[in-house]
Structure 1
Amino acid sequence: MTKPEVKCEPKKRVNIVSLQLVKESSLLYGPRRITNTRLAYELFAPYLKEKDREHLYVVGLNTKKEPTFLNLTSIGTINQAIAVPRDILKPAILANSASIIVAHCHPSGDTAASYADIAFSENLRKACKLLQIDLVDHLIIGCSTDKYSSLKEQGYLKSED
């Protein structure tokens, strides 16, 4: 009696990994807490005011609304910045953020929210809710101007599903 031949597949190697946030630099933020739209604008404006393409940043906040990180998430074209919730929320999760604020610039200087801006914010809000991270606001900052708009203040960030 002969044994049936058993074919063994090679074993799959699985990587054991850890993730960490890497601090590239830091900045001093005078007010310490972001409690309103103007303070959020003042944090983002130096990074978004003189751009020739859309840039999207995210800031993470702790439970006291103190900023804990600022991350450039996307550099786009003259009229769009492609970003997905996964890319925005990754640093927020790694930094153990309670909430986030996102901001992007419009090189045209026009701070009106486009349909794409509104849809993006709604998708991000839903993703944040699943991860129990509060989306505080989404700002649109006009390049080469002192103008900005808040999607929250305009009623686009609704808390219900």
Structure 2
Amino acid sequence: MMKKINELEKFEKPREKLLEKGAKALKDYELVAILLGSGVKGKDVIKLSKEIIKLFQQDFDAINIEKLLQIHELGIAKAAQIVSAVELSKRYLFKQHKTVISANDVYEELKEYFDKKQEYFIAFYLDGANRICEKRVITIGTLNQSLVHPREVFAPAIESRCASIIVAHNHPSNNLTPSREDILVTQKLKQSGKILGIELLDHIIFSKEGFVSLQEEGIL
């Protein structure tokens, strides 16, 4: 029989622990348990939360509805709750508005992708003072023009009224030489940015070994 938070023993109630000691005193799975509120058939809320944390540890940035639904009996409603909380946390990580002065400043924000085995295409959205307002993963997979559509890249910039964007993607092979497809995607985004009045400042190709700025290379 599944247990809700209010059915747990007092010593294991995450909600009571939060009220008594504050959110920082809670373990990761206890925070997830509060978000969920209850377990599912065959799993109490604590066991379910620990399974979700395991998924976070595998690849937090790639968490989505589909991955969460791999957990037996989780259900769309609870998966949507978790995905919403994850997305909100990512967005507010960038409310500090770090200022970008050079390509190296962007590279410092890409460390979480250094060991990825797939290509991640990431967009940074900047205000008029070159401060990062938001960062988003646009696509995961081999970079090509069909995957990276200007609409997907520029829509958040339009919504947030950003002045410019910087895009970046990793080369898991550690070969930082821009491919023909890298250059074509860059040119396509540059042209779209001109039409929209949102400048593409740079396209950075990176790995844990370093990075190449297409703007500095004169390709952009």
- Taking structure 1 as the reference length, the TM-score comes to 0.75
Distance 1:106 1:76 in 2: 11
* CA offset digits 1:99-138 (Å, max 9, x no partner): 0000000110111100100011001000000000011100
Give the C-alpha shift of residue 147 in structure 1.
1.1
Question: Runs (4+) of structure 1 moved beyond 6 Å?
Answer: none
The aligned residue for residue 41 of structure 1 is 107
Q: Name the counterpart of 1:24.
A: 88
Deviations 1:33-87 (A, max 9, x none): 10111111112x223211111010101000000000001100014xx35211111
2:152 paired with 1:91 = no
Q: Which residue of 2 aligns with 1:111?
A: 176
Q: Which residue of 1 aligns with 2:130?
A: 65
Aligned length: 131
* Aligned mates of 1:28, 1:89 — CA distance in 2: 18
Which structure carries more strand by proportion?
Answer: 1
Unaligned runs of 5+ in 2: 1-84
Rounded to whole Å, the distance in 1 between the matches of 2:158 and 2:206 is 25
Q: Give yes or no for the alignment of 1:100 onto 2:184.
A: no
- The alignment status of 1:155 with 2:218, answered yes or no, reads yes
Residues 28/67 of structure 1: CA separation in 2 closer, same or farther (3 Å cut): closer
Residue aligning to 2:7? none
Give 3-state SS (helix, strand or coil) of 2:158's partner: helix
Root-mean-square deviation (Å): 1.9
1:148 maps to amino acid = F
User: d(CA) in 2 for partners of 1:30 and 1:97?
Assistant: 15
Following superposition, the deviation at residue 146 of structure 1 comes to 3.0
> What amino acid does structure 2 have at the position aligned with 1:24?
L
CA contact (8 A) 2:138 2:148 kept: yes
Structure 1: how far apart are the matches of 2:94 and 2:189?
A: 28
Normalized per residue, the structure richer in helix is: 2
Separation in 1 of the partners of 2:177 and 2:95?
A: 27
Identity in percent: 31
Letter in 1 for 2:216: E
Which residue of structure 2 lines up, in the alignment, with residue 16 of structure 1? none
Structure 2: distance between partners of 1:29 and 1:90: 19
The structure showing larger relative contact order (alpha-carbon pairs under 8 Å, at least 6 residues apart) is 1
Structure 1, unpaired ranges of 5+: 1-21
Counterpart of 1:75 (choices 125, 140, 144) is: 140
TM-score by length of 2: 0.56
